[in-house]
Amino acid sequence: MSNKNIIRFVSICTVCCGLLMFILFITMGRSNATKNGFSRRIPITKLTVAEEVALEGSNFYIAGHTSANIYLGNRKKPLDLWVGNKNLKLQFPEKIKAVWQSSCLSVDSPYVYLSDGLSPKFFRGDLQSLKMDTFLHKSSYFTTAVNISPASFAVRAVNTVAKENMLLKVQSDSPYVITPVNTLKKQIDGVFCTDGQLKYDKASNKLVYMYYYRNQCLVLDTNLNLIQTIHTIDTTTVAKISIAQISDQGTTFSAPPSFVNATVCLHADNIYIRSALLGDNESLAALREYDLVDVYSMTDGHYIQTYYIPMQHKESFTEMCIIKDKLIALYSHFYVAYNLKLNK
């Protein structure tokens, strides 16, 4: 496959993933209200609001956090970083050229990183000067990236021969791109059926890949070796999606997909998943008021408990992170800090 076709194929995959996330954020306002063949642990903990912070505009995502601050990126302004409502402008040398259409910021103090899967390029700077420069000079095209150390990223890319998602490690030393045995298991098409979110937990030094359409999370080490597969409490083992070919280079959904998991965050060796499915022992009335977050142990995969997160202004949150004893949930143009209590 020529470089031109590779770029075209990866671009299509990236755009499709972006559209998929848009569908997720817009349509996941309610969990699936049908009987789903599982029950949640009772009693369920209902979280209370500690603080609500308004944001100027929308299209934000969580770029990272420290014990004191949450950092936000913006999909419409890829070179800007927000701390609350304070807009920080990243500075790039004039010689640097990138696509920027798929750029994503990540913060791991004292560094801030920018990854761009269509260039493909990585940049790094410090939070004090905000001066960015090229970092990780050799890479593969990718559709998502997670910083795992000052010298490496884990990325999800598309195998342009098999046309399937795969996980790679990009690092500063040779070999610059490590291709482990692919842990993303194809069920239907290999791209949409394996779509999900990749997260890194610095405290445990582990990665988690959460599938959107099946009841699985993969726990990986930083070389992308599979440690274990965790099954969520629902019963959807095979993705319920329908795919249609739209051209020689691309596919799309032919019917709305059935989400199982909406978003994930990691904290204190636990996995927090916003579920898209209602348990058989839960009231339909809960769907009008709460988002459902299930907690699992990253060590052995057991289900710990469920939180009910109150919807705000009739919205479901799109991302979350945990800072000390607060769960931070991001909405369209604001974020909310909830008081968090973890059952022992």
- Name residues of the chain where pLDDT drops below 70: 1-34, 98-99, 248-249, 342-344
Residues in the chain: 344
Tokens of 324: 């000390």
From first CA to last CA, the distance across the chain in angstroms is 53
pLDDT tens by residue, 52-92: 999 999 999 999 999 989 999 999 999 999 997 789 999 99
pLDDT at 338: 98
Q: Which domain holds residue 220?
A: 3-339
How far apart CA 91 and CA 96 sit, in angstroms, is: 11
Interatomic CA distance for residues 133 and 124, integer angstroms: 6
DSSP 67: S
Residue 329's pLDDT is what?
98
In a domain, 51, yes or no: yes
Considering its fold, how many domains does the chain have in total?
1
Asked if 45 and 306 touch (Cβ cutoff 8 Å), the reply is: yes
Report yes or no: 253 and 192 within 8 Å, Cβ to Cβ.
yes
Is 309 among the domain residues?
yes
Closest CA relative to residue 74, chosen from 105, 108, 28:
105
The reply to whether 344 falls in a domain is no
| pTM for this prediction | 0.90
Per residue in 220-252, pLDDT (tens digit) is 999 999 999 999 999 999 999 998 888 766 788
What pLDDT does 31 receive?
54
CATH assignment at residue 289 = 2.120.10.30
